[in-house]
Structure 1
Amino acid sequence: MTEPAVEVQPLVRQKAHSLGALGERWLAGLPGLIRDLERRWSIEVGRSLPGGSASYVARARIEDGRDAVLKLSLPTPDFAAQVQTLHLARGHGYAKLLAHDLDRHAMLQEALGPSMDRLGLDPWRQIKTLCAMLQSAWRVPRAPGLSVDPSQEKALALGELVGRLWEGLGRPCSERVVAQALTYAERRAAAFDPGRCVVVHGDPHPGNALRVTAPRPGAEAGFVFVDPDGFLADPAYDLGVVLRDWCGELRGMDAASAVGLVRSYCAQLSERTGVDQRAVWEWGFLERVSTGLYVLDFGAQELGRPFLDTAESLA
C-alpha cells in the first residue's frame, strides 16, 4: 500500500472545525496518529474511504494479509460506548472489532463492502433489510452498569435540543413544525418504560449499514451496522431514525402524498418488528426535525435543509 493520503471528508472537516481548538488539533494530528498506529498494530494504512460524518476512515492491511478498516473518530465522549457496543456484539449485527485505543479514539474493524445507500436498492428493500438487522442488533447484551436516567431520557434530550437550536439558528423552520416535534418529545417521554429498553444503534440509517464481503454468522441479512451510539432506549427510537430519512423521495411531493408515503413506510417498520406504529411515527418526526437543526448548527446547510423542508410537509 502507498503512503496514506489524509483526505478528510468535507462533512467530517466541518464537524472538526465546529469543535474549535480540540477539532483543529485532531485534524493536525491525524498523520502522526496514523504512523503510530501502523507501528503499534502492525498494519499498513492505505487510501481514505468516502462517507462517514464524524471520523477519518481508511483502508488497512493487517500483518497476516487480511484487509481491515482503520477508523479515527473525532474526540467526542460517545466513542467509548461505540467500542463497547461493538465488543459486546462480537460481530452479530455489527462490524467485527479487531483492535481499539480508547484514549486515541481509534479502532480497527473488519473490511466491509459498500453501504446500503450506495447500491441503488429501493426504499422498501432497504427498510426490510434494516428491520432484520435491527432485530439482531437489539440482542446485544447490556454492558455492566449501563442504565437509563429517566430525567435524561432521549426524548427529553431531543426536545431540549430542538427548542434551543431553533431559537439559536434564527428559527429556520416554521413554529408549527417545532411545536409538533416538541409535542412528540413530550409524548415519548411520558411513555418511557425502562423495561422496554434495548441497546439501540442510535443512528441506523442506510449509510451506516455496510455489506459484508462474504456470508458469515451474525450477518444473515448480508449487511452489518457500523458507528453505533450504543445507549439504552425504546426500540421504536431506532425505527424512527430509519423513518427519518428518504428526503430524496419526499422532496417535491405535495403534503398529502408525502404523508401517505411516510405512513406506508411507518406501517412496514411496525409490521416487521412488532413495535407500536404511533411510537415509530412520533420518533421519526422528532428525529427529522432535530437532525435538520443539528446539522444546520455545524454549517452543513445542504445536508440539513432537506430534513426541515420535508418536516413542513409532514407536520
Structure 2
Amino acid sequence: MVAVPEAVRIRAVSQGQGAWLTGLDDQLRRLCANWGLTPGQVLDGGTASLVLGVTCADGAPAVLKLVIPGIDFHDQLRLLELADGRGYVRVLGVDQETNGYLLESLGGSLADADLPPQEQIRAVCDLLRVAWEVPATSYLDQSWNNAEELARLITKLWNRHNRPCPERVVDQALGYAARRAAMPRGEWVVVHGDPHPGNVLRSPDAREGSVGGYVFVDPTGFLADPAYDVGILMRDWSDQLLASDDPRGWQQHHCALAAGYSGLDCDTIAEWAYIERVSSGLFVLDVGDPDHGRRFLQTAELLIA
C-alpha cells in the first residue's frame, strides 16, 4: 500500500474524499501499467495531491501526481499546458479519469536552498515575470473576482471556527479585500496563485523556460492583479516576523524589496499579503493544521496598521 502523507490524508477526509484514499493503490497500479512506469518514493507535495517519484520505461526519472478530486486539477493542468514549460514544470502525460498527470523530474525547492529571505523574494519575483507571460486571453471567460472570494472565505471560516483571532484582524483583511476588489481589471494577468518558495523547484539542466535554474509547480491559474502573486509570496515568513523586534518594519522592508524586484506597488503587495495571511490561517485551521493556522493569525495580529 502506498504511504499517503498525513497532510494529504487529512485534507482528503476533510473534503469527503475517503473513497479516493482507499482506491489510490488500484489507480497507481493502472497508471504505472498504462505508462510503463516503475514507482519510487512518495515525495513531499503539499496537501492537495499524492506525489510519487517514478522511472519511465526509457529509464528517465519523472513525477506522477494524483490530485484529490475537486481540487483545481483542470485549472492547474490548463495553465501548465498553456505555459508549455516556460516558467512552469513540463507536463509529460495526463489521465483525466484519475486526476493524474506525469511531470518532468525536478530538483530541490527554493525554500530548501538556505538563502536569506531577500534572495528568495528576488528569485520568485524574477520567475513570476516570466510566468505572467501566459496569454490572458485564454481566461476571458472568468467572471469572478478573487478579492471578493477571499472576503467571503474569511468571513465564513472565522465564524465556523468560533472567531479564532481578534475581530480587528478580520476587519483589516476585509477592508483591504474591498479595496482590492474595486480595482480595475485592465492590468490583470494569469497568476500562479500560490508562488511561495516551496513551489519553486530547481530544473536540473537549467533548461530553456527556467529562470535562474528554477520553475514553478502546483499553480492554481486564474486572472488577477499580478500584485496578488507577490502578496502571497509575502504572506509567509512567520518565523522571521515572530522573532523580530519590529515585525511591521520587517514586513514593510521586505514588501518594498518585492516591489522593486517585481516593478509593482509596495502598498498593494502589502495589502494582498495581509489578506492572504488571514485567509490562509483560517483555511489551514479548517483543513486540520491548527498550529500552522494560528501562526498565520498570530502574525496577522502583529501587523495590524
Range class of TM-score, shorter chain: over 0.9
Q: Of 276, 284, 291, which aligns to 1:295?
A: 284
Q: Which amino acid aligns with 1:232?
A: L
Task: Work out the CA distance in 1 between the residues paired with 2:212 and 2:241.
Answer: 27
**Which residue in 2 is equivalent to 1:279?**
268
What is the CA deviation profile of residues 14-33 of structure 1, one whole-angstrom value per residue up to 9, with x for unaligned ones?
A: 1011012xx10111111100
| 1:37-56 correspondence to structure 2 within 5 Å | 37-56=31-50
TM-score by length of 2: 0.97
Q: Structure 1 residues 266-275 or 232-241, which shifts more?
A: 266-275
Task: Work out the CA distance in 2 between the residues paired with 1:309 and 1:252.
Answer: 12
Tell me if 1:185 matches 2:192: no
Q: Which amino acid aligns with 2:13?
A: H
Tell me if 1:222 matches 2:216: no
Q: Structure 1 residues 211-220 or 5-14, which shifts more?
A: 5-14
Task: Work out the CA distance in 1 between the residues paired with 2:50 and 2:60.
Answer: 20
Instruction: Mark the runs of 5 or more structure 2 residues left unpaired by the alignment.
Output: none
Contact 1:96 1:110 in 2 (8 A): yes
Tell me if 1:155 matches 2:147: yes
Q: Of 87, 90, 110, which aligns to 2:84?
A: 90
Contact 1:259 1:313 in 2 (8 A): yes
Partner of 1:103: helix, strand, or coil? helix
Task: Work out the CA distance in 1 between the residues paired with 2:265 and 2:101.
Answer: 36
Task: Work out the CA distance in 2 between the residues paired with 1:146 and 1:11.
Answer: 34
Task: Work out the CA distance in 1 between the residues paired with 2:154 and 2:74.
Answer: 26
**Which residue in 2 is equivalent to 1:265?**
254
Contact 1:88 1:143 in 2 (8 A): no
| 1:192-211 correspondence to structure 2 within 5 Å | 193-211=184-202
Give 1:241 deviation, angstroms: 0.1
Give 1:304 deviation, angstroms: 1.0
Contact 1:138 1:198 in 2 (8 A): yes
**Which residue in 2 is equivalent to 1:7?**
3
Task: Work out the CA distance in 1 between the residues paired with 2:89 and 2:140.
Answer: 21
What is the RMSD of the two structures over their aligned residues, measured on CA atoms? 1.2
TM-score by length of 1: 0.94
| 1:25-44 correspondence to structure 2 within 5 Å | 25-44=19-38
**Which residue in 2 is equivalent to 1:170?**
162
Task: Work out the CA distance in 2 between the residues paired with 1:230 and 1:300.
Answer: 25
Task: Work out the CA distance in 1 between the residues paired with 2:300 and 2:213.
Answer: 32
Partner of 2:186: helix, strand, or coil? helix
Task: Work out the CA distance in 2 between the residues paired with 1:94 and 1:145.
Answer: 18
Contact 1:148 1:194 in 2 (8 A): no
Give 1:145 deviation, angstroms: 5.3
Task: Work out the CA distance in 2 between the residues paired with 1:86 and 1:38.
Answer: 22
Q: Which amino acid aligns with 1:165?
A: L
Q: Which amino acid aligns with 2:268?
A: A
Q: Which amino acid aligns with 2:127?
A: M
Q: Which amino acid aligns with 2:8?
A: V
Task: Work out the CA distance in 1 between the residues paired with 2:297 and 2:31.
Answer: 40
Instruction: Mark the runs of 5 or more structure 1 residues left unpaired by the alignment.
Output: none
Give 1:144 deviation, angstroms: 3.7
Task: Work out the CA distance in 1 between the residues paired with 2:139 and 2:133.
Answer: 17
What is the CA deviation profile of residues 163-186 of structure 1, one whole-angstrom value per residue up to 9, with x for unaligned ones?
A: 111111000000110000000000
Identity %: 46
Partner of 1:6: helix, strand, or coil? coil
Task: Work out the CA distance in 1 between the residues paired with 2:108 and 2:206.
Answer: 15
Partner of 1:199: helix, strand, or coil? strand
Q: Of 238, 249, 253, which aligns to 2:244?
A: 253
In the alignment of these two chains, the number of paired residues is 304
Contact 1:42 1:62 in 2 (8 A): yes
**Which residue in 1 is equivalent to 2:14?**
18
Give 1:147 deviation, angstroms: 3.2
Task: Work out the CA distance in 2 between the residues paired with 1:184 and 1:270.
Answer: 18
**Which residue in 2 is equivalent to 1:100?**
94
Task: Work out the CA distance in 2 between the residues paired with 1:188 and 1:198.
Answer: 15
Task: Work out the CA distance in 2 between the residues paired with 1:267 and 1:35.
Answer: 49
Tell me if 1:136 matches 2:126: no
